[in-house]
Amino acid sequence: MRGAAMSLSAAASGFVVFLLSVSVVQSQNGWGVTYTSTEICALKGSTVDISCTYIYPSRINDHDTEVEESFWFTKMNGNEFVDLRTDSEYSGRVQYICGNNDCTLRITDLRESDSAEYKFRFITNQHNGKYTGSPGVTLSVTDLQVQVSRSQVYESYDWAELKCHSSCRRPDHLHYVWYKNGQKTWRGTSSYSVSVYPADSYSCAVEGYEKSPSPPVYASRVATVSLSPSGEIVEGSSVTLSCTRYVPATTYTWYKKIGNRHLQPPSKEPQFVFRSIQSSDSGEYYCTTGLGRTSEYISINVKYAPRVSSVSVSPSGEIVEGSSVTLTCSSDANPAATYTWYKKNGNRYLQPLSKEPQLVFRSIQSSDSGEYYCTAVNKLGRTYNYISINVKYASRVPSVSVSPSGEIVEGSSVNLTCSSDANPAANYTWYKKNQTLFQGPEGIHHFTSISSEDRGIYHCKSENQYGQIMSPPLSVDVQYAPRVPSVSVSPSGEIVEGSSVTLTCSSDANPAANYTWYKEDEDSPKASGQNFTITYVRPEHSGNYYCEAQNRRGCHNSTLHLTVVAGAGGKLAAAGTITVVLLAIISLSVFLWIRKKRASKEPSDPEERADNREQLRIGQPEEQEDLQYASVHFSTKQADPLYSNIRAGRPLRHMEQQEVIEYAAVSFNRASTAPRTRGQETREDPAALYSTVNRT
């Protein structure tokens, strides 16, 4: 290993530095930094040189090693070492004096804040060719202090032995300069005996370095109270109160002023220590010495983060919509806290509502209900607290509905539902017209099996202690099959042949029914519609008619019997017709009898012999006149002009009663000279007469 001694020296151009020199060498695999001391103690304002030597392998992997960068550092920024030349705290006070494998750090105008561990680092051109000398050199920077080693108190002055003190070990040959009230008063050793009068001040310095004297000590007979550390006092930190006189006292007593009272904390020492100071320790303190001297007051102001904030609502009690409401947030904090109000929405927090301790609702609304939280913040911390707001309000306009939705069919189960936004929850009442149907908190009116009588307009009333309101109307339309139809005939009374008659059918149904008219024993409908009109009634219109009422929910029918009565003109015509027919029959009978008698006197011809049936034939069928029939309908018993029969089924389409019917048939021969064959004679029939009378 190559190495050289590291020198740490007190530069003559600076100030006296007191050294503890110990040679320190760090090396590893040919890499190393050599220090000759682990600690340096220097006085404030002086200059210090810290030197070192370093070694490294000259060649690695056939490559020459060269130092590319070297520097001193005391701290790191992240993973980076901070070169003292770039550290703002050392700006203008740092100099590197480096040569071949050695480097000296010079720091001028030393400050107490320069106390630290200093390390040297160099970087080469080799892979991983970096090295730091660790541990480094510890530098302690201290100041001179004037201390009273012995004293004697007299009536108008004090005698004291003053000592110029430093925490660094000093060479014995140093000379000191003493100052009284800022003026040089004596040159000598570090000790100085003097008669001290009130208001005098004394300080000391090392000869040759008068620019860095100690702080002055005032020879006041009044004790002085100091606070350490200086600056802001934060709750939980350690704080020391010191009671001092340039002449030490034999006893000390501490006091805390609270209003007009003076509490005596439990301490009889010149120092009163708060191990973990609290906000309650804030206040004014002073001390007294055994010589009856009382110090001035010193104030302690303990800073602390906000305590748990308290939130309140005004006015207390129920919060009613439209009223004025104030939320107030308060917290104990030093310095005073700033406040921010938020409203919680699910897992999110809305934008800040207010940055004041109070959140005011001039006219609070139901939408303002919810959870609010207030944060109290100062530079030492933050806290927060919640408050829940429940705004009461009257029922809103109810919403009404029917379920199941769609068409409502008679016999089905139906619910009418009423709901309303209200706080507290509303009670509901269902009405149909002015009739109360249901009351309760559920708002559901249930029809187990709804009927047509349940159709109509319904209303629901929603109410709580803050008000009531009626719903819009709800129309319930119940659909059902047609009821049994009602049938009638117009005009009423006797229906006379030739008149006009209207049959009418009506039925209660929803949706409205469609009507179809049928006549008994006929498959085809007679008419569609509620009315069936026959403009000219004839006897064959008599019979049973039935009306069928139908919609998509079902059908029903009813039957009506219609009887047509012949008029006066009709009766005379019928009598005349009968008379003519009878006369024709008598005349025809006489004619046939005479002809037969003549034929019996003529000679018989074999071809003309025939049985009685052949003789009755008068001529060829194709030569016969068309048969004529007459049908007369008598009414042996006049029925009532109109009656109706209401029944559910379709009536039989045949007459159960027959009136007397008489038929007459007459056949005439035409003259013909053509001979007739036997076959022809067989096919020919004589003129025939049929009459039939049926009675029941």
Angstrom distance (rounded) from CA 462 to CA 439: 10
CA dihedral 638, 640, 646, 652 (to 10 degrees): 10
Burial state string for 385-423 with b = 16 or more CB within 10 A and e = fewer than 16: bebebebbbbbeebebebeeeeebebeeebebbbbbebb
Report whether pLDDT(627) > 50. Answer: no
Could you tell me where the beta strands, DSSP code E, fall in 155-251? 158-165, 176-180, 183-188, 191-196, 201-206, 217-218, 224-228, 233-234, 239-244
Angstrom distance (rounded) from CA 418 to CA 123: 85
Q: Could you count the other beta carbons within 10 Å of the beta carbon of residue 222? A: 13
Q: Which residue has the higher pLDDT, 694 or 130?
A: 130
**Strand-strand pairing, 233-234 and 302-303:** parallel
CA–centroid distance for 506 within its chain: 57
- Per-residue pLDDT tens for 211-261? 888 888 877 667 788 898 888 999 999 999 998 776 666 678 888 887 766
Cis peptide before 424 (omega within 30 of 0): yes
Report whether pLDDT(648) > 60. Answer: no
Q: 599 φ, ψ to 5°?
A: -65, -30
Per-residue pLDDT, 249: 65
CA dihedral 678, 683, 688, 691 (to 10 degrees): 150
**Arithmetic mean of pLDDT, 364-386:** 93
Per-residue pLDDT, 250: 66
Angstrom distance (rounded) from CA 672 to CA 394: 115
Q: Which residue has the higher pLDDT, 332 or 197?
A: 332
Angstrom distance (rounded) from CA 475 to CA 459: 9
> Are 663 and 691 within 8 A, CB to CB?
yes
The average confidence (pLDDT) of the chain is 80
DSSP labels, 262-314: EE--S--SSEEEESS--GGG-EEEEEEETTS-BPPPEEE-EEB-----EEEEE
Report whether pLDDT(93) > 70. Answer: yes
Per-residue pLDDT, 253: 85
Angstrom distance (rounded) from CA 139 to CA 218: 31
Per-residue pLDDT, 26: 59
**Strand-strand pairing, 564-565 and 495-496:** parallel
Give the containing element (helix H, strand E) for 597.
helix 568-601
Give residue 642's pLDDT band: very low, low, confident or very high (50, 70, 90): very low
3-state secondary structure 358-405: EEEECCCCHHHCEEEEEEEEECCEEEEEEEEECEEECCCCCEEEEECC
Rounded alpha-carbon distances, angstroms, from residue 201 to 147, 196, 197, 287: 12, 9, 9, 21
Q: Could you count the other beta carbons within 10 Å of the beta carbon of residue 523? A: 7
> Are 352 and 338 within 8 A, CB to CB?
no
Angstrom distance (rounded) from CA 531 to CA 551: 17
Rounded alpha-carbon distances, angstroms, from residue 585 to 575, 589, 686: 16, 6, 15
Angstrom distance (rounded) from CA 586 to CA 497: 32
- Per-residue pLDDT tens for 40-65? 888 888 889 998 999 999 998 889 99
DSSP labels, 547-574: EEEEETTEEEEEEEEE-EE--HHHHHHH
Q: Which residue has the higher pLDDT, 599 or 288?
A: 288
What the block records as the tokens of 202 is 């004394």
Report whether pLDDT(406) > 80. Answer: yes
Q: Which of 631, 634, 642 is nearest to 658 (CA)?
A: 634
**Arithmetic mean of pLDDT, 64-88:** 92
Q: Quick check: helix, strand or coil at residue 216? A: coil
Q: Which of 658, 639, 646, 655 is nearest to 494 (CA)?
A: 639
Q: Which residue has the higher pLDDT, 268 or 565?
A: 565
Report whether pLDDT(262) > 50. Answer: yes
Burial state string for 368-384 with b = 16 or more CB within 10 A and e = fewer than 16: bbeebbbbbbbebebbb
Q: Which residue has the higher pLDDT, 673 or 521?
A: 521
Q: Which residue has the higher pLDDT, 639 or 583?
A: 583
Angstrom distance (rounded) from CA 52 to CA 4: 8
Angstrom distance (rounded) from CA 42 to CA 150: 27
> Are 394 and 420 within 8 A, CB to CB?
no
Give residue 353's pLDDT band: very low, low, confident or very high (50, 70, 90): confident
**Arithmetic mean of pLDDT, 474-491:** 94
Residue 572 class from Cβ within 10 Å (0-12 exposed, 13-18 middle, 19+ buried)?
A: exposed
Report whether pLDDT(13) > 60. Answer: no
> Alpha helices of 1-87 — where are they, by DSSP H?
none
Give residue 666's pLDDT band: very low, low, confident or very high (50, 70, 90): very low
> Are 425 and 464 within 8 A, CB to CB?
yes
**Arithmetic mean of pLDDT, 163-181:** 83
Give residue 305's pLDDT band: very low, low, confident or very high (50, 70, 90): very high
Burial state string for 473-512 with b = 16 or more CB within 10 A and e = fewer than 16: ebebebbbbbeebebebeeeeebebeeebebbbbbebbee
- Percentage with pLDDT > 70 across the chain: 77
**Strand-strand pairing, 102-107 and 116-124:** unpaired
Residue 676 class from Cβ within 10 Å (0-12 exposed, 13-18 middle, 19+ buried)?
A: middle
Report whether pLDDT(429) > 50. Answer: yes
Cis peptide before 215 (omega within 30 of 0): no
Per-residue pLDDT, 268: 76
Report whether pLDDT(465) > 90. Answer: yes
Contacts of 459 (CB under 8 A, 6+ apart): 430, 431, 432, 470, 471, 473, 474
Per-residue pLDDT, 303: 95
Residue 452 class from Cβ within 10 Å (0-12 exposed, 13-18 middle, 19+ buried)?
A: middle
Query: Structural domains in the chain?
Result: 8-141 (2.60.40.10), 143-218 (2.60.40.10), 224-303 (2.60.40.10), 310-392 (2.60.40.10), 399-479 (2.60.40.10)
Per-residue pLDDT, 293: 62
Q: Quick check: helix, strand or coil at residue 101? A: coil
- Per-residue pLDDT tens for 504-515? 999 999 999 999
Per-residue pLDDT, 549: 96
> Are 118 and 72 within 8 A, CB to CB?
yes
Angstrom distance (rounded) from CA 408 to CA 452: 10
Per-residue pLDDT, 215: 86
Report whether pLDDT(651) > 80. Answer: no
Per-residue pLDDT, 649: 40
Q: Quick check: helix, strand or coil at residue 540? A: helix
- Percentage with pLDDT > 90 across the chain: 44
Q: For residue 561, list its beta bridge partners.
A: 544, 643
Report whether pLDDT(452) > 60. Answer: yes
- Per-residue pLDDT tens for 206-215? 887 788 888 8
> Are 42 and 206 within 8 A, CB to CB?
no
> Are 471 and 398 within 8 A, CB to CB?
yes
DSSP labels, 401-445: EEES-S-EETTS-EEEEEE---BSPPEEEEEETTEEEEEESS-EE
